[in-house]
Structures are given as structure tokens and as C-alpha cells.
Amino acid sequence: MPNDTGVVPRDARAEVVAAALAGLTATPKTLPAMLFYDDEGCRLFYEITRLPEYYLTRTETDLLTSIAADVVPDGFDDAVLVEFGGSDETKARILLDRADTPFHTYVSIDVAAPALGALRDRMVASHPGLTVVPVVADFMQPLRLPPLSASRMGFFPGSTIGNLDPAAATAFLAAARMSLGEDAWFLLGADLRKSPRILLPAYNDSAGVTAAFNLNLLRRLNREAEADFDLAAFRHEAVWNDRDSRIEMHLVSTREQVVRLAGQTLRFREAESIHTENSYKHTEARLIEIARKAGWAIERVWKDGAGLFGVFLLRGG
Ligand code: AVJ
């Protein structure tokens, strides 16, 4: 990941090369969605969140704002909010900015150390009374958190859980339950299954921002993995996979071609795709089933008026 100077450390580059080679030598070809988020990818994702077709961010933000007082369990005080994959505090602020917030500590777990450092600086400046604890770690793994107060709430907004297949989503929620310890709570934001007439434009917007976001992956590999992808020879594609209930993003080769990456030769057939992302769209019932399998009880579920997006309050034992 880039540091403040824009220079990518060698070991980070080695990880990008290893991940890219593993995916691009597999059949069918894939690339991990986490590779989207270099500096330009983060900027493009922010632009996506402002698109008229991308209803997710504004729907969740409005929903969280309207329920912020209700998500706090009775007797919850001296509380800690633990965000998973939280290198952007915008959603957490909805809970932390309230005059009556029970949260005095904000723990944010993310692999991107520079982004976490910037987040800490922003939060310390705007919230003098708040203790901000950045934790540099892969949130998919169980982790040892610093000693926390009795009232703990995990936070996983943004429908990031949609990137995980159901088994991985269950494993993540189970690991988070272990990391948070006994009697913790968890607030999960997830996009819901709906008509592809709404879903497809959200992942194939008319301004072409999602296409640029997808193709930026290849630009990143050209820079960080000594690759020579011709960006004009791949096109963005978003498809609805009804059986698996997910949007898939692909980069499709427009012709037969050969690409070099870190000294290796990669061959593409015409119309061959690189599968770059899954975005699962589960029903409320399916998400409840996944949370239960991970050992959580369902305390309450909120949806926006149109039933596009769900916020799930889970309770550990
Ligand atoms: C950040 C994973 C929730 O799946 O909607 C947006 C990423 N990809 N447009 C999503 C994304 C294409 C986003 N998540």
C-alpha cells in the first residue's frame, strides 16, 4: 500500500505480485477485490458512493442517522466501538458525533497503516474526548484487541460483507465474535437482494466511474507488478448471478492477447474474463441465517422504506 510519499514498500509490492499471479494463473482467472484500493482506487470508490445509481451509501447513511439512538443497547455506557475494515470513519461518525453517544473509545482495524494514521489524526482533532485506537491487522483473522471496557460493539457497515462468499462471511462474523469477547454487540450494514433492474446500474453507471474503478486494477498492476496490460483491450462488465445472488464484476479481454506480469507470460483468449469482485445481495432471512451460524443472536433489524438496505444489530453470548 502506498505510504505518504506515494512510494510502495517492497514487501507490499511482493504481496501484490503474489496475489495477482495466483489469481491470473488460475482457471477461471480472478483478482482479489482488495487490490482495488490503491490511492486512485480509493478516490474512484468515493466517487462511486456519490453516483445517482449507487444507492447503497446514501441509503445506509440515512438509515443509520435515523436509528442512531436506537442501536445503543440499554445500560450501554463507557462503551467502545470497534470498526472492522474502517479506514474511513464517515459511518462511525454517525454514532460518535451524537451528544448522547455512549462511545468514549473508537478502535479501527484495517490493513492500510497510512490510512489508519490519517484517520486517527482526523478523529483526535475533531473529537478531543475520544480515545482513538488504530489497529493494523487483517480483520478476517481473529485478533487480540487491547483490553476494552465491558460495553463493546463491533461495527461493519458499507455492505463490505457482500465481498465475502457465505462461508467466508460466516467465518468473519465468528472471528469477530471471538475478537470482541463475551457479551459483545455487533452492528452490520448489508445491501439486500433486489431486482437486477436496480442492481445492475449501480455497478455499471452511466458516467463510467465503476468501469474506471475496475480497470484501475490493471493500471495498478502495470505500476506495482511490472505488468504491461493494455487498458484499451479490456472492458468492464457487471453481471447479475441469480443462482448465487450476487453481482459479479469482470474485466473482459476484447481480443486474444499476451500480457507480461513480473516476468511471467499470461495468455488471454478473446472474451476471456478476469473475475474481479463479488458483491453478494442476500435476503434479510439469509443474512440472519449467516449471523446465527457464526454464533450471534439477532436483536433487531432495520430497513429503509424501500427495503433496499438492512442494518442488523447482533448480540453475542
Ligand atoms: C465496498 C464492497 C461494498 O460491493 O458495492 C462498488 C465495492 N464495487 N462498486 C460494493 C464496489 C463496485 C462495494 N463494497
Q: How far is the CA of 161 from the centre of ligand 1 (A)?
A: 10
pLDDT score of 3: 45
Looking at residue 12, its pLDDT comes to: 80
State residue 291's pLDDT score.
Answer: 98
- Report the pLDDT value the prediction gives residue 10, as an integer from 0 to 100: 57
CA of 198 to the centre of ligand 1 (A): 15
* Atom 13 of ligand 1: nearest residue by CA position: 160
DSSP string, 21-52: HHHHTSSSEE--GGGG-SHHHHHHHHHHHTSS
Residue 86 has a pLDDT of 73
Q: Atom 1, ligand 1: which residue's CA is nearest?
A: 160
User: Residue 146 C-alpha to ligand 1 middle, in angstroms?
Assistant: 30
Q: Which amino acid is at 258?
A: V
Residues within 6 Å of ligand 1 by CB: 48, 56, 158-160, 162-163, 203, 210, 277, 279
Residue 4 DSSP SS3? coil
Instruction: Phi first, then psi: give them for residue 257, nearest 5 degrees.
Output: -160, 165
Instruction: Find the 251 Cα to ligand 1 centroid distance in Å.
Output: 15
Backbone torsions φ then ψ of 296, nearest 5 degrees: -95, 145
Residues 268 and 253 sit within 8 Å (Cβ to Cβ): yes
Amino acid, res. 117: G
Give, rounded to a whole angstrom, the gap between the first and last alpha carbons of the chain.
Answer: 37
**Residue numbers of the chain with a pLDDT score lower than 50:** 1-4
Please say whether the beta carbons of 302 and 311 come within 8 A: yes
Residue 197 has a pLDDT of: 98
Nearest ligand 1 atom to the CA of 45 is 6
- For residue 269, count CB atoms less than 10 angstroms from its CB and return exposed for 0-12, middle for 13-18, buried for 19 or more: exposed
In whole angstroms, what is the distance from residue 284 CA to residue 289 CA?
9
Q: Please choose, from the candidates 247, 202, 207, the residue with its C-alpha nearest in 3D space to the C-alpha of residue 54.
A: 202
b/e per residue, 138-152, with b = 16+ CB within 10 A?
Answer: ebbeeeebeebeebb
Pocket test of ligand 1: the residue of 55, 110, 159 to mutate, having most ligand atoms within 8 Å of its CB, is 159
Q: Report the separation in Å between the CA atom of 279 and the middle of ligand 1, taken as the mean of its atom positions.
A: 7
Write down the pTM of the prediction: 0.94
252 within 8 A of 211, measured Cβ to Cβ? no
